[in-house]
Structure 1
Amino acid sequence: MEIQFLDEFKTFLMTQRGLAETTIKAYEYDLTYYLEWIEKEGLKIEEIGPKDLDRYVQYMRKEKNLEAKTCKRRIAAISTYYKWMVREGKLKNDPVYFIELPKAPSRLPVYLTEEEMEKFQEIFEEEAQKRPIIGARNRALFMLMMFGGLRISEATNIKESQVTVRDGYPVMVTVIGKGNKERQVPLNEDISRALLAWMETKKALKDDDDLARKYTRKTKVELQSEFLFPGRNGMQINEYTVQMKMKDIRKKHFPDKKLTPHKLRHTFATALFRAKVDIKTAQELLGHSSIATTQIYTHVEDEQKREAVMKLGKKKN
């Protein structure tokens, strides 16, 4: 069964909602999964009611053993699709409006501790020494995600024109976030140095045919990419490449940590609260549309309270 009006819906997600290509693909995947169930049940999408959707939720939870969080995400995609269909006059009612979604358990975000952040940084410093070109790129990219809180899609799509340079040093990046919303992210000294080293290396690639071919298998003319972090094809680095790099780091250095590129964003947010940054400023730096999303990182305060209480009653030497 094909998704009705798929191209129109994807255009709406891109132009009206400002969603990234990867997010739109996730919507398409969730809708395809839903339509497969509809076909299996012998139903039609225009005939679906709240009771049918309740059964679909039960199917995901009990037969497929999906977590509540995954179920909520898939229902959210379906809801967006139905609302769009109703708005466009292609459907009369949105059945999702009447169902009760499963409640996902509250979980603290996974993040790197201060010691682990230092270790993570050292890993890329060592790589930059061993592999001057790719290592310099990886160091700048991953430092930007950890010390700037960028999502993987935001980091891989950054262009050189989005980097503000003052007195020869990168000091800020303009990030295009969800919904095409812009935010300014200042760069600390560590990111600035790493980014400067990479930008100088990238310039050398553009000026030297032999170096360009060795790194990208392209000539310097073919390498005139606007993207700050190009992959081997001269275009922006693929998100999958970044994810696989992180997977390799986790396996070698953090085997007990569920470390992904997005966990670096959690690390940045946690570090902000650890540094006593007010929640409104943290919200702006992270690009959260709702302050409620930012509040999940207040777990740092709970951790500090626990440490303070644990110190009570300790005997002094």
Structure 2
Amino acid sequence: MAQAKTLTAEELQQVFDYTAQHSHAMRNRMMLLFSFWAGMRVGEIASLRVGDVVDAGGKVKAEIKLSAEQTKGRHARTVFLPQKLRDELQGYCDIRAVQDRKQSFFLTAGGKPFSANVMAQHFFWLYKKAGLEGASSHSGRRTFITTLASKGIGVRVLASLAGHRSIAVTQRYIDVNDEMKRNAVELV
């Protein structure tokens, strides 16, 4: 099976431009941002509850503590949210104004919680309708890891951020491109 496509900044903007013009634009953008800016798996995003993301006062947390049940490998982990993601999430949370902290953070158009499978399919169709071939629900994670690697973040930190127990797994996520090679040779 081919690896998920790593998106360029332009391709990611293409997806955001598409989602902005269609139903549930803000929700879809937030789901994608969890993948691209926090490196979360689609199953982890689907498992989020309001209380995982916001504190009792309604403020978006800087760190999300995922329980073992919420992760692929059944190992609890902490997801660190960059400030730009927290800022966007805060706007989304303020508009939704959900009081029930146990409610799923993302709901389908029918008002039901997303399953991991339904969310993966949803991502696939968002990419396809935005005109991106080869992108899947894993594209965000690959792009997240590759982007950080291109900025010099070490593979051990990347593995920890991705929730990988082996750096060999993380290394397979890193997509080397010409820009990374150009920047590398300039360090000589």
Larger radius of gyration: 1
> What does residue range 85-164 of structure 1 map to in structure 2 within 5 Å?
110-124=5-19, 126-127=20-21, 131=23, 134-163=24-53
Contact persistence 1:108–1:299 (CA under 8 A): no
User: How far, CA to CA, are the matches of 1:139 and 1:117 in structure 2?
Assistant: 11
Tell me the amino acid that sits aligned with residue 143 of structure 1. L
| Residue matched to 1:174 | 65
| Residue matched to 1:249 | 126
SS at match of 1:284: helix
| Residue matched to 1:270 | 146
Identify unmatched segments of 5+ residues in structure 2: none
Shift, 1:225, TM fit: 4.9
Shift, 1:260, TM fit: 0.8
User: Cα–Cα, structure 1 residues 109 and 246, in superposed 2: closer, same or farther, change >3 Å?
Assistant: closer
| Residue matched to 2:103 | 226
Shift, 1:285, TM fit: 0.6
| Residue matched to 1:85 | none
User: How far, CA to CA, are the matches of 1:310 and 1:276 in structure 2?
Assistant: 13
Relative to total residues, which structure has the larger helix share, 1 or 2? 1
> What does residue range 3-82 of structure 1 map to in structure 2 within 5 Å?
none
SS at match of 1:200: helix
Contact persistence 2:47–2:104 (CA under 8 A): yes
| Residue matched to 1:291 | 167
User: Cα–Cα, structure 1 residues 192 and 295, in superposed 2: closer, same or farther, change >3 Å?
Assistant: same
User: How far, CA to CA, are the matches of 1:186 and 1:293 in structure 2?
Assistant: 20
SS at match of 2:152: coil
Tell me the amino acid that sits aligned with residue 33 of structure 2. M
Shift, 1:164, TM fit: 5.1
**Partner deviation per Cα, 1:258-277 (whole Å, 9 max, x = no partner):** 11111111111111101211
Identity of aligned residues (%): 22
User: How far, CA to CA, are the matches of 1:108 and 1:156 in structure 2?
Assistant: 21
SS at match of 2:64: strand
Identify unmatched segments of 5+ residues in structure 1: 1-68, 70-106, 207-222, 312-317
Contact persistence 2:53–2:60 (CA under 8 A): no
User: Cα–Cα, structure 1 residues 231 and 187, in superposed 2: closer, same or farther, change >3 Å?
Assistant: same
Tell me the matched-pair count. Answer: 182
User: How far, CA to CA, are the matches of 1:289 and 1:188 in structure 2?
Assistant: 22
User: How far, CA to CA, are the matches of 2:155 and 2:136 in structure 1?
Assistant: 24
User: How far, CA to CA, are the matches of 2:140 and 2:184 in structure 1?
Assistant: 29
User: How far, CA to CA, are the matches of 2:184 and 2:108 in structure 1?
Assistant: 49
Q: Provide TM-score, normalisation by structure 1.
A: 0.49
Contact persistence 1:121–1:143 (CA under 8 A): no
Contact persistence 2:38–2:81 (CA under 8 A): yes
Q: Provide TM-score, normalisation by structure 2.
A: 0.78
Contact persistence 1:111–1:266 (CA under 8 A): yes
Contact persistence 2:142–2:175 (CA under 8 A): no
Higher RCO, Cα 8 Å, sep 6+: 2
Tell me the amino acid that sits aligned with residue 51 of structure 2. S
1:203 aligned to 97, 107, 128, which one?
A: 97
Shift, 1:174, TM fit: 2.0
Shift, 1:293, TM fit: 0.3
